[in-house]
Structure 1
Amino acid sequence: MPAPHNPFKQALKDGETVFGCWLALADPYSAELMGTAGFDWLVIDGEHSPNDLRSILAQLQVLEASSSHPVVRVPIGETYLIKQILDAGSQTVLVPMVDTADHARQLVRDVTYPPHGDRGVGYAISRAARFSQIADYGLTANEQICLLVQVENRKGLENLDDILAVDGIDGVFIGPADLAADMGHMGNAAHPDVLAAITGAIAKIDATGKAAGILSTDDEMTQAAIQAGARFVAVGADILMLSHAAQSLATKWKNTLK
């Protein structure tokens, strides 16, 4: 029996545009709810949310019953973290702050079994191989793992051509917030210079045949990114949706007493 098919990776290969959302609440119950909303993919965020391996595992488990593909963002591109996330059952990994081709090449090795990579061969006891029930997992897993790297500073943009030339990278995600800050426009990803850098990078990524991605809660930026060639597009975050809706409801009723 081979490793499970990765529909997200296949969609990117087929040139489809898929819409996603960030999971920042770090809770399996809310993750399960988000899995019923109809998004194509959901990011379990390990960088800016209070997630650890066990909470990520719990969210992977509840999302297995949904049609939304789980993408795990690790806090940093460290080999040992990526090994754990893959063995926990994630087939798609998003790595932040990748700004050199050497880093990208190591990440490819991190998600690849020997002799071409460094992923530890312990799948017999892993959830990824259904606890040894997928006998051919080691021989077939590489083809179903999807590696996404985040380019989100000026150094990364300067090295984008070299990063794109690395074989084994499935997609490159442009991080608007960090890029804006690095360009001197903290909190203003819609600044014309930042927007031009984002759309230019997306067009370059798309031209190579790799998938370009972005997270944007601004409709104009989202549309500009899609027009430039973005194909995995996150359009919101659970914590922002809850926070904004709660604030709006509280303000609505408080204002009735004025």
Structure 2
Amino acid sequence: MPSLKSRIIARDECFGLFCSIPSAVALEQVAAAGYDFVIIDLEHTLISPEQVETMILAAHGAQLAVLVRVPPQTPHLVVQLLDAGVAGIVFARIDDAQQAQQAVELCHYAPLGQRGLNATRASRYGMGGLTEATRRAATETLVVIMVESRQGLDNIESIAPTEGVDVVLEGAADLSQSLDLTWQTSHPQVQAAVERVCVATQTAGKAFCAIPRELDDMQRWRGKRVSLFVIGDDRGVMRRAHLAHLSAHKE
């Protein structure tokens, strides 16, 4: 099965979902629905390490690629999550090229980074060949950064070309707040900022990941050669499904 990173490089359309519900069953249902990847969200949840590991194992069992979003200033989580077998890390609130470089160094072994060596799940705890596991990590580990602030927007042309950064994921919600337009993600100023991030990312030869908030957004992003999408959060999908289900029966 091709890695998520190889599919992104090949410009396959890939659809993902933020996962905030700490449940193996919920992840299995996401996989059964046909999503290509999930992003377990540790920035806005209280999901415990034990719950995260269960979610990772469930995703692996369902052949679903799993990324994890980590809060700012939590470098200790990165190596633990990668050693547990995630496909990559999503770094929230990257504001400059130095922070982007630090993200790369946390995720990769030498010479690109400084990740510590260990026998991990990826190498079957040493039984699968440590050298081969290290080589595979170099080609398959995804480094995803989010640009979510006015400072990040001002620095995007220097952030995006950072060697080792694979994907830039938009952060229109926090960006709207930074632009004094809180939650006005469709405001022309916010949309222009997100498109600037997209252009800088693609100019640097990296993949841009969009978060379409309306169905009409899909064609707009496809017209801009975007093929990587995060299309919601599992809690929101569940909420809308429950409301629609109940409403249909009440009618």
TM-score by shorter chain over 0.5: yes
Rounded Cα–Cα distance in structure 1 between residues aligned with 2:22 and 2:196: 33
The corresponding residue for 2:122 is: 128
Q: CA deviation at 1:40?
A: 1.4
The corresponding residue for 2:104 is: 108
Give the 5 Å matches for 1:18-167: 18-122=14-118, 124=119, 126-135=120-129, 136=131, 137-167=133-163
Task: Indicate if the aligned counterparts of 1:17 and 1:231 stay in contact, CA closer than 8 A.
Answer: yes
Out of 9, 13, 38, the position equivalent to 2:9 is 13
- Report the 3-state secondary structure (helix = DSSP H, G, I; strand = E; otherwise coil) of the residue aligned with 1:186: coil
- Report the 3-state secondary structure (helix = DSSP H, G, I; strand = E; otherwise coil) of the residue aligned with 1:225: helix
- Report the 3-state secondary structure (helix = DSSP H, G, I; strand = E; otherwise coil) of the residue aligned with 1:51: coil
Out of 226, 240, 247, the position equivalent to 1:244 is 240
The corresponding residue for 2:227 is: 231
Deviations 1:55-108 (A, max 9, x none): 221111111132431111112353211010101101221111001100011111
Q: CA deviation at 1:141?
A: 1.9
Q: What residue identity is the alignment partner of 2:64?
A: S
Deviations 1:115-150 (A, max 9, x none): 54221112x2x2232111221223442222110100
- Report the 3-state secondary structure (helix = DSSP H, G, I; strand = E; otherwise coil) of the residue aligned with 1:64: helix
Q: What residue identity is the alignment partner of 1:53?
A: P
Task: Indicate if the aligned counterparts of 1:111 and 1:142 stay in contact, CA closer than 8 A.
Answer: no
Task: Indicate if the aligned counterparts of 1:31 and 1:59 stay in contact, CA closer than 8 A.
Answer: yes
2:209 paired with 1:218: no
Q: Which runs of 5+ in 2 are unaligned?
A: none
Rounded Cα–Cα distance in structure 2 between residues aligned with 1:66 and 1:231: 23
| Distance change in 2, residues 1:39/1:202 (3 Å) | same
Q: Which runs of 5+ in 1 are unaligned?
A: none
Q: CA deviation at 1:109?
A: 0.8
- Aligned sequence identity (%): 25
